[in-house]
Amino acid sequence: MSDYKKILFNRDGAISTITFNRPDAHNALDKEMSDELQDAVRRVKRDRECRFLVFRGAGDTFCAGDDIKDFLTWTDEDPYWQARHTRRPRR
């Protein structure tokens, strides 16, 4: 994945920058943005020339966390829901 829709990825010398680019949603992470972020971080991990990784947020907010509205679209078969469900602390 190199054409991102919800993050911006830039490499300048030894510095890579990932910018969360959903300012209208305070850069909250939905499924697509999470996938793009994971891909970009793996890309940096494989880049032996990168020495610094900078995270930024477009607009006034760095990142509001998970996009709660996106949760409403998840189903029981959705891997995101399954991962979320299994991470809950057991009581």
Q: Show the tokens assigned to 91.
A: 């009581």
What dihedral do alpha carbons 63, 83, 31, 12 form, nearest 10°?
60
CB atoms within 10 A of CB 32: 15
What's the whole-number mean pLDDT along residues 45-66? 96
Residue 81 three-state SS = helix
Residue 68: the pLDDT is 85
Residue 1: the pLDDT is 44
What's the whole-number mean pLDDT along residues 34-44? 94
CB atoms within 10 A of CB 54: 11
